[in-house]
Amino acid sequence: MTIRLGGILFGLAITGVLLLWSLLPGALNFAFPTKPDYYAFQEKNIAPEGGFSFDGPLGKWDTQQLQRGYQVYKEVCSACHSLKFVAFRNLQEIGFTEPEVRAEAASWEVPGIDPKDGSAIKRPGIPTDQFPSPYANEVEARAFNNNALPPDLTLITKARKDGVHYVYSLMQGYNEPDPEDVAKSPDFETPPGLYFNEYFYNINIAMPPQLLDGIVTYSDGTEATTEQMAQDITAFLTWAGEPSLIKRKQTGWFVIGFLLFATFLGFMSYKTVWATKKPKKGSPDLV
């Protein structure tokens, strides 16, 4: 009895406090939020026509595309962005042969030490090195980028909501602002040193447009349009973020198939075991 009385009192007290001191003041000047009067970014990303080759439970890497994406990373993105969790040896997974990987690694300069006097030098990479950062440290990175910090790209497709499509959209998001939206948002402007990009949460991004038509010359002869490069770099970064993606899905089929089979066997034995204990309509012989 005391517990119930105490409970009722505590319950009434806490709801009373909540309703009178928190809800009431809020409710007095409560208004449903209207459409924001700032220029809101596009939360809905675009996807390439026909999707990516690695989409869906049956997806596969398109190694040709991953290699093109690697080329875009190397020739464009790597000027500002690191890819620190990927090693050159990983390139073998996207179709480079071992000698190619060695040559590829050697074409990058990585920090090392002089074997004679131990001073800091740059040396050509070897397959076990990770991709080097373009800047010595964060201060240098910001100094070069209008005080913005170019993020590491290894996990970018996982570190943003709907990340794969986000990267694809962002690369193509340097459009003209929508005049209607601009009219509705009196404060809207793009300050110098920033660039309008409707997929960026802040609408203005410190990264200039990168994938201008023809900025790379694909070695496999594919035409390097903005859309094509956006697709390729997105595919490459998806692989970089999760190299095990395809293996994971393939393993998944096998595991789920096995589990469903075991479940089916288990269900049949459950039925057999319970046959005499479950009431069936019109069967009097239950025990």
Extract the annotated binding site: 77, 80-81, 207
Q: Are strands 109-113 and 120-124 parallel, antiparallel or unpaired?
A: antiparallel
Shortest separation between residue 152's beta carbon and other proteins, angstroms: 8
Between 36 and 221, whose beta carbon lies closer to other proteins? Answer: 36
Shortest separation between residue 287's beta carbon and other proteins, angstroms: 7
| Listed residue (67, 117, 119) closest to 94, CA to CA | 67
Which residues would be at the binding site for other proteins (CB under 8 A)? 3-4, 7-8, 10-12, 14-15, 17-19, 21-23, 25-27, 30-33, 57, 85, 90, 151, 154-155, 158-161, 163, 201, 241-244, 248-249, 251-253, 255-256, 259-260, 262-263, 266-267, 269-270, 273-274, 277, 279, 286-287
- Phi, psi of 210, rounded to the nearest 5 degrees: -110, -45
Contact of 214 with 222, CB cutoff 8 Å:
no
The sign of the torsion formed by the CA atoms of 244, 247, 252, 255 equals negative
For 127, residues 6+ apart whose C-beta sits below 8 A from its C-beta are 87, 88, 89, 98, 101, 102, 105
Shortest separation between residue 20's beta carbon and other proteins, angstroms: 9
Between 104 and 242, whose beta carbon lies closer to other proteins? Answer: 242
| Listed residue (104, 66, 116, 114) closest to 222, CA to CA | 66
Shortest separation between residue 221's beta carbon and other proteins, angstroms: 32
User: What does the alpha-carbon distance between residue 206 and residue 195 come to, in Å, rounded to a whole number?
Assistant: 6
Shortest separation between residue 24's beta carbon and other proteins, angstroms: 8
Between 121 and 264, whose beta carbon lies closer to other proteins? Answer: 264
Binding residues for heme c: 77, 80-81, 207
User: What does the alpha-carbon distance between residue 54 and residue 94 come to, in Å, rounded to a whole number?
Assistant: 13
Report the SS3 class of residue 195: strand
Where do we find the tokens 């000047």? Answer: 29
Q: CA-CA distances (angstroms) from residue 198 to 45, 184, 205, 210?
A: 10, 15, 9, 15
User: What does the alpha-carbon distance between residue 41 and residue 45 come to, in Å, rounded to a whole number?
Assistant: 10
